[in-house]
Each structure stands twice: as C-alpha cells, then as structure tokens.
Amino acid sequence: MSDIKVKTKKRTIKPITVKQLIDDYIYLIDLDADYQRETIWSRKKQEELLDSIIQGIDIPKFYLAEVKNDETFEYECIDGKQRMTTLLNFFKPDPNGDNSLKIKVAGEKYTYNQLKKEIPQLAEKIDEFELTFVIYPEIDDEEFVRDIFRRLQLGVPLNAGELLKTYTGTMRDFVYKEMGSDAPFLRNTKLSEKRFSRQFTLAQICINSFARNEGGDFKRARYDDLWEFFKEKYDLNKGDKNLVRIKKVLGIMDKKFKGNDAEKISSRAVAVSGYLFIEDLVSNKKNGLIGQFVKFYVKLLEEIKKNQELLSKFNPPENSVILEEFQKYISQASVEPYSLRRRNEFLKKAFQHYLDPKTKGKIIGSK
C-alpha cells in the first residue's frame, strides 16, 4: 500500500488583506465564469459578511485559478464570488446608485467613506483584515476547475453552455449549428472553443439584440434566461429579420477587426458589449464610425490590460476611470441588465471623448 501514489494539483495558499484585494487584485479576477451560479446575496447577507469582519470571525477560503491567454483577466474565481462582490460594493459603490452598502456599528450605519472619516481605526481594521486565497496555477484541464467548483458547492447544478445545447428549435440551431464555434468575428477572438463558450456568447448577444430591437431594454443573459429565450423562439422563422441583422453585424465585425485585433477579446462580456455597440452604429446608419470604434475598443482593452499589469505588480493604476466604470462591470455581474447598461453608457461617453479633436484619440481617464 505504501507504493500507491496519488496525483495532486499544486496550489498556493496566499494571505491577502481586504485592502490588497480591492486595490490590487479585484479587477484581475473574472467573477463571472460560465459555471458560476446566478444567485445574488441579499442585503442582509452582505451586511453579515461585513459584520463578521468587524467581529474578527474567520471568512471561508477563496479559490482562484490562474488563466492563460486571456487579455482581460489573470485569475478566474472558482469560489468566493459573492464575498468578493460584497467587498467591492462596500469599498467602491456604484456612483450612480442611491443605496450604498453600509456597515452597522453601535446602532448606526456607515458607508466605507463615512467610516473612514468618523471611525478611522475601524476602517483600518477592515482594510487589514486578512483573507485566505487558494490559487491554482494555469490548468489546461478545464473540467478539473469545474470539478473543484462542484465539490465546493456540494453538487449545486451548473449552468453551462453544453446544457443549452440540449434544447431544440430555431434559436438553438442558429447558435449551435448554423453559426457554431466558427461564427464570424467570434472565431477570431480568444474565447475558448471548449464547452461551447463561443456559442454561449452568441446566445447572450442574441437575447439582447432581440430585446433591444423589439423596443425593450437590456436583458439578463444567464443560462435560465437563455433557455427561456430559446423556448420562446422555438419555431421562429429562419429568415427572421433579427437573425439576418445579427449575421450581418457579425460579418461586418469579422472584416473590421483585422489582424490580431479580435484576439484582444477573451471575455464574453467584452464581446457582447462590443457587438451591441456596433449593432447600434449599424442601426443608426453610422457604419462610417465602425472602423474608428474598433480602433478605440482595441486601445481601451490594451489600456485596461496595462493598468491590470500595474495592479499585478502592486503599483497604482494610471487610469482608474476605465477600471471603475467599465472593467468593474466586466468582472462582476456582467450579464445583469444594469451591468450591460453601465458598459454601454461608458462606451458612448468614452468613444465621444476619443473622437473629440481636443483629446487627440486618448482614452478617457488617461493622462
């Protein structure tokens, strides 16, 4: 029995303070891997986490996996998404929101900024609270990462692209058969060909393209939402104008993202937002701006990557605007309507800034 050898995966256990997480790591972590659950913690549960930190109660370990060939992130969250999202919401609340997360102290509730001013020693205690991260190195076996998730979640069902493939009907055939992993534009990105990641991205594009062109707003695009969308469009005419438009826009993007430009896109959320913005340009007969938008978008993604590299070396970012107004909504709750809307609003503002002769093609927030 002593000769039996068990293969184990190497991992690093790393203590990281709350402040280090928010300042140096949070925008490097993909919080929306396709196997993650869509459940969002209640306000009460978020406040309980903050209270646990004040009380000095240990927080369960966070699990990350390093990712390779990704222009957007350096890590993928396996477990700890809701805890990290809660901390991000507390430290960097949505500036447009009116319901900031607060922590209760002696019967009074404080935002983080209020706490720093009125009880600085307590704010510092939260800053220095130590979290434990378990980090797996780059792993080629995606199933291993998902297996860790399954074990940590004790068998909670997964929402993945291969489950969506089991459905039937017009939308399913359009996404998985007619377009597939070789869909125009998507085939040139760094989106994985495995586990139907590109098809899942296309389904997210479709649900929002249909919704917005039928007079609605952005739509949530989790597995359950896509399943209902496929069901609703089960017997859709194959020549439907929405499908024709989507193929047309993807074809345009396939031509406009030249050379290695498309390879800058390795995140589903980045692909979806880029598509929806270009679709708006096409719908508004502004095709002449598409080439400039592509250059702008590539430059924006390069600047995000540059600032992430600064963070990874524990240096302050040179452009916090793009991290807090765009990348934040890529890394967390990326398929929620408010997140899609925030990204779209930012792109409108940032693209206008880029086009302004006075700014000489600079990315908003850059020096």
Q: Is 121 helix (H, G, I), strand (E, B) or coil?
A: helix
Least confident of 2-6, 34-38, 129-133, 191-195: 2-6
Regarding whether 226 and 115 lie in a shared domain, the answer is no
Picking from 129, 152, 175, the residue at the C-terminal end of a domain is 152
For residues 273 and 337, what is the distance between their CA atoms, to the nearest angstrom? 12
Mean pLDDT of 58-76: 87
In a domain, 88, yes or no: yes
Residue 159 confidence class, pLDDT cut points 50, 70, 90: very low
Residue linked to tokens 């979806």: 272
Mean pLDDT of 46-73: 88
Picking from 133, 152, 171, the residue at the C-terminal end of a domain is 152
For residues 119 and 124, what is the distance between their CA atoms, to the nearest angstrom? 9
Mean pLDDT of 135-162: 64
Asked if residues 14 and 135 have their Cβ atoms less than 8 Å apart, the reply is yes
Q: Which letter, b or e, does each residue of 254-271 get, where b requires 16 or more Cβ atoms within 10 Å of its Cβ?
A: bebbeeebbebbbbbbbb
Residue 7 confidence class, pLDDT cut points 50, 70, 90: very low
The larger pLDDT score, comparing residue 40 to residue 186, is at 186
Residue 126 confidence class, pLDDT cut points 50, 70, 90: very high
In a domain, 350, yes or no: yes
Regarding whether 271 and 205 lie in a shared domain, the answer is yes
In a domain, 4, yes or no: no
Residue 150 confidence class, pLDDT cut points 50, 70, 90: low
In a domain, 43, yes or no: yes
- Return contacts of 193-200, CB within 8 angstroms, 24+ apart: 194/142, 195/34, 195/142, 195/160, 195/161, 195/162, 196/160, 196/161, 196/162, 196/164, 196/165, 197/34, 197/161, 197/268, 199/161, 199/164, 199/165, 199/175, 200/34, 200/160, 200/161, 200/164, 200/226, 200/268
For residues 354 and 139, what is the distance between their CA atoms, to the nearest angstrom? 38
Q: What pLDDT is attached to residue 139?
A: 66
E strand intervals along 67-158? 75-79, 103-105, 108-110, 130-136
Q: What pLDDT is attached to residue 331?
A: 87
Q: What pLDDT is attached to residue 67?
A: 85
Regarding whether 143 and 167 lie in a shared domain, the answer is no
Regarding whether 56 and 196 lie in a shared domain, the answer is no
Q: What pLDDT is attached to residue 316?
A: 92
Regarding whether 121 and 75 lie in a shared domain, the answer is yes
- State the total domains in the chain: 2
Regarding whether 85 and 187 lie in a shared domain, the answer is no
Regarding whether 175 and 144 lie in a shared domain, the answer is no
For CA atoms 230, 236, 239, 243, give the dihedral sign: negative
Regarding whether 244 and 140 lie in a shared domain, the answer is no
In a domain, 186, yes or no: yes
pLDDT tens-place string over residues 207-266: 999 999 998 899 999 888 998 999 899 899 999 999 999 999 999 999 999 878 999 999
pLDDT at 317 over 90: yes
Q: What pLDDT is attached to residue 39?
A: 59
Least confident of 38-47, 73-82, 182-191: 38-47
The larger pLDDT score, comparing residue 285 to residue 55, is at 285
For residues 145 and 283, what is the distance between their CA atoms, to the nearest angstrom? 40
Picking from 152, 186, 217, the residue at the C-terminal end of a domain is 152
Mean pLDDT of 112-124: 93
Regarding whether 170 and 92 lie in a shared domain, the answer is no
In a domain, 365, yes or no: no
Regarding whether 328 and 182 lie in a shared domain, the answer is yes
Range of the domain at 21: 12-152
Regarding whether 202 and 112 lie in a shared domain, the answer is no
Q: What pLDDT is attached to residue 218?
A: 96
For residues 137 and 167, what is the distance between their CA atoms, to the nearest angstrom? 35
Residue 5 confidence class, pLDDT cut points 50, 70, 90: very low
**Strand partners for 77:** 64
In a domain, 3, yes or no: no
What does the mean pLDDT of the chain come to? 88
Angle at 43 between CA 37 and CA 87, to 5 degrees: 75
In a domain, 180, yes or no: yes
Regarding whether 20 and 106 lie in a shared domain, the answer is yes
Residues making up the chain, counted from first to last: 367
